[in-house]
Every structure is written in C-alpha cells, then in structure tokens.
Amino acid sequence: MATTAELRRLWADYECKPEKMVVVRFGPDSIRVAPPTGEAWQALAAVLKRYGYLIREDDTDSYNCRAIKDGSGRSLHAFGIALDVNWRTNPYRDHAGKRAARYSSKATQSERAEDVRLGSADTDMTAAMIDDVNAITTTAGKRVFEWGGSWNSLKDAMHFQIALSPDDLAAGIDPASVAGGAEPDDDGVDDLTGLVEAEPETPGVGVAPRGDLFRVIARSGLNLRGGPATTFEILKNLPLGTEVFVAGRQGDWAKIDLQGDGLVDGFAASGFLTPAASAPPAPQPLLATPMVPSGAGDITGRVTPDHVRKMFPPSVAGAIAANLGFVLSGLRARGVADRPMVMMALATIRAETEGFVPIPEGRSRFNTASVPFDKYEPGTGPGRRLGNTRAGDGARFKGRGYVQLTGRDNYGRIGEQLGVPLLTDPDRACEPELAGLILAQFLRNEQQAIRTALARNDLKLARKLVNGGSHGFERFKDAYVKGLAALPA
C-alpha cells in the first residue's frame, strides 16, 4: 500500500484544485472527487448497498482542501482521493496503544450505532463489509482501498482512501472483485446530468433552447450546483452579470454550460437568468445599508492581482484573479480601504485560508475530538467563548469565508451589521461577495486596535485581534511584509 507521502506525490496534479474535481454518485449522495477515482467509489457504494448500509448525505464528505488532523501536511481529501462516510457513527478516535478495530455484533445498523455511542465499538459497519471493501481490486489485481479503521495507532472509521496511483486505477475495477456488483444506473464519473432522472427538455420561464446565452441577474451572484436542487453542493458562485450558455432545463433548474462546448458544468436556478440580448443589469449593492465612505486613503484602485500574487504561494494565482475583486469591493464598502487595512485583510486571508478562496473550516485536532467540531460545542471552553448555546452549534457555526468567521456570536453580530441572516443561513458566509464584506466588517469592528498595533509594528497583536491567538502568524507576517514591499506607499 502506498504511504500518505507517496499518494500526495502521485496525485499532486489534483491538490486543492476544485476545478479539476468531478461530481459522482455515491449511493443517495453526490460527491466531488478526482476524475480517475469515479469507478472505484461506485464499487465501494455497491458493497455498502449489498449490506443494506444507509449512507447519510449530511455527514458524508469528499473533496476538501484542508490539512491532515495532526497538521503534518495536506489531507488526502485535498487531492480528491478520500471519503468520510457517516462520521457521526464512525468517529475519529485517538486511543492509547495499538489495537484492532472493534466491531459490534448487533444485527442492524442502528443497533451497531448505539454500541458506537456507548464506546464498545468503533464503527457501525461490519467486519464482513470491510473485508469486501478490502477485496476490491483493479483488473491488474491491485487492491484499491485503505480503511482508516484498520490503523493500529488510531481509528478513523469514517475514512476510506484510494491506495493506488492514477495510472494503476486506469486499468479499471475488476467487476468480479466487487461484492454486490456495480450500481446499474451509473458508469462511475457523472457528467452531472445523470445525478437525477432526466426530464424532457421542454421550454419554460427563464430558459430557452439549448445553447442560448444568458446573463446572471442575481444581485449577490448565482450559485452553480452539482444537481437540480438546493441540497446539492455549491460548485462555485457566478457573479452578477456573468454570461453563461443554457444547455437545457430540468424543472425550474437550468443546465449551465460555462464554456459553450455543449457540456454541462452544473445547475442553476433559472429564475435568476435573463437572455443576454437584453440590457445588462445596473450594478446593485449586496446590502440594503449604505456604504461606509473609504476616505482619501483608499488604495484599492491600485491593487492588482500581480501585487497580491507576491504575497501568496504561486499555486493560488488563479484563485487570486477570481476573488480579489470581491475582497477589495468589500473593503471599499465598509470603509477600510486604506493601505494598512488592505494589507491587514490580505495577510489575514493568507493566514486563515492561504488558497485565497472562501472555504468552510475543515475538521482537525483543534476542533474535533470524535464528532466533527465537538470542541466548539456548548459547555466547552471554545464553545463558551464563541457564544455557542445549542447542540450542533459547533458544526453549524464552524469557520467560513476568507476570515473564517466562527461561532454563533460572530455570525449573529456580523450578520446584523451587514443585514444578512447568517444565523439562519450560515453557509452564505462562503459566498465570495459576501465573504469579502464579512472580512471587511470584521476588521472594521476592531480597526482602532488593529491600526494602533500596525502603527507600532506589533504584528502579533494585530493577528491576535482577528484570530484570538497566534495561529497562522508566520504566514500572516510573511504576507504583510511582502505586501508592503509590493505596493509602496
């Protein structure tokens, strides 16, 4: 079996590149993974289905650009070759000593889950099920999967990872090795149209025949999703005025072709699209509240992607080009667009997300003991500091966006200041335009103390005023110093 370091090298072309991922069906769920792995995940789903194992969509997760729990590098989720299944009943456990996985002898999944809750079992899966997963091979006879529950020093029973190189997987999965056989309604890698039953391509409101050009008219941008429902994952946000081709419709959802090549890239609500031949919409502010004047010190008009690229690793150049406008617009709107605050904002992004993309917080040893984000739950020290008062608040109000807004108190305060219902819809904090405003408002709330710290060149204090600690300080300092050099006063 390949080591984690070897797998990172073998799959390096996919590291933290969401644009390279594809959406595939995994039982009742849809997951984003590296393209060569689609058939393998279908084989895994077939085995679980054979045993009547229920896959829960709300606690099953695939691609996620995050670090491994011990902080020793990127998780294999960042490469699109790992999947966590039903983490509530297959928890991460860092136990003393070495031991094999403990299985429940109960007959049903719910009974086995109760044994997990009581601590007498590590997983609600069965030994026979895992044996059949381990038996999946390529046509060349190479074992495909490694299961985290089989590790001796800890148990990560939710975790399945591809154990081969892309070239090895290219041989294909041996059907004879798959207990239960391949799922009959899918060929592995889905082009997004196969995720649900197709409906006739009939004309409807907001959508014209295949190939027509449309423009986004949603003021805060239009979410492109992996399927025709709000339950599907957001693939990206299409800003106001973006022109796209509509390849057809499915109910009230348009099939979006971004390249004009006839291939479907995702689905979007058709009511927020208008024929491109009509007049483009006048730009509208996201917020109902007035903009805060930036003053004479506004430098955002001088900041270019070339300047910002010098503050970040080379691998994020594309993300900077795509997202810098949202960040600068937010800083202008909230009146923190002068040089110190712009540098503070950009360095904060480097420290918090590094990839210059508004992302949800990944699970790590800092936020998770067993159930994801349980270290943020009410009754814990961090949970109290974050104002989390209800069960589930830890995961509900996990970090999101450029600044990693975290906790019920912060979501409530920032949401009220911006006029956005973040408490009822916290996922919106990852929308690029809104994420830019959240970052700016967060800095504005602390601007007096931040400005004083920066004037004294006390970068540690400036960082602490945002994060509450020293996490990411070296990245913050590196970006801040490089930013000042790249954009002289």
Tokens of 84: 């966590």
Q: In total, how many domains does the chain have?
A: 3
Tokens of 70: 């011990």
On whether both 87 and 170 belong to a single domain, the answer is yes
On whether both 332 and 464 belong to a single domain, the answer is yes
- Considering the domain boundaries, does residue 183 fall inside one? no
> What's the whole-model pTM score?
0.47
**For residue 28, what pLDDT is reported?**
79
On whether both 234 and 166 belong to a single domain, the answer is no
On whether both 173 and 217 belong to a single domain, the answer is no
**For residue 277, what pLDDT is reported?**
62
On whether both 310 and 459 belong to a single domain, the answer is yes
On whether both 108 and 231 belong to a single domain, the answer is no
Crossing angle of helices 339-352 and 447-455, rounded to 10°: 100
β-pairing verdict for 400-401 and 359-360:
antiparallel
On whether both 333 and 214 belong to a single domain, the answer is no
Boundary residue ending a domain (177, 193, 224) = 177
- Considering the domain boundaries, does residue 284 fall inside one? no
- Considering the domain boundaries, does residue 234 fall inside one? yes
- Considering the domain boundaries, does residue 38 fall inside one? yes
Is residue 173 within 8 Å of residue 37, measured between CB atoms? no
On whether both 127 and 67 belong to a single domain, the answer is yes
**For residue 443, what pLDDT is reported?**
95
On whether both 89 and 171 belong to a single domain, the answer is yes
**For residue 267, what pLDDT is reported?**
85
At 204, is the secondary structure helix, strand, or coil? strand
On whether both 239 and 93 belong to a single domain, the answer is no
Is residue 348 within 8 Å of residue 483, measured between CB atoms? no
Residue 136's alpha-carbon distances to 40, 147, 150, 158, 254, in angstroms, are 8, 12, 16, 18, 37
**For residue 199, what pLDDT is reported?**
31
Classify burial at 282, counting beta carbons within 10 Å of its beta carbon; exposed 0-12, middle 13-18, buried 19 or more. Answer: exposed
On whether both 167 and 306 belong to a single domain, the answer is no
Q: What is the pLDDT along the chain (489 residues), one digit of tens a residue?
A: 789 999 999 999 999 888 788 777 788 777 888 989 988 998 999 999 999 999 987 778 888 887 776 556 889 999 999 999 998 899 988 887 889 999 999 999 999 999 999 999 999 999 999 999 999 999 999 999 999 999 988 899 999 999 999 999 988 899 899 986 544 333 333 332 222 222 333 333 333 334 688 888 877 778 888 777 776 777 777 877 788 888 888 777 888 887 666 667 788 888 888 887 644 444 444 554 445 554 458 899 899 999 999 998 876 788 888 889 999 999 999 999 999 999 999 999 998 887 788 888 888 888 998 888 999 999 999 999 999 999 999 999 999 999 999 999 999 999 999 999 999 999 999 999 999 999 999 999 999 999 999 999 999 999 999 887 677 899 999 999 999 999 887
Other Cβ atoms within 10 Å of 418 Cβ, number: 21
On whether both 270 and 304 belong to a single domain, the answer is no
* Residue 78 belongs to domain spanning: 4-177
- Considering the domain boundaries, does residue 194 fall inside one? no
- Considering the domain boundaries, does residue 33 fall inside one? yes
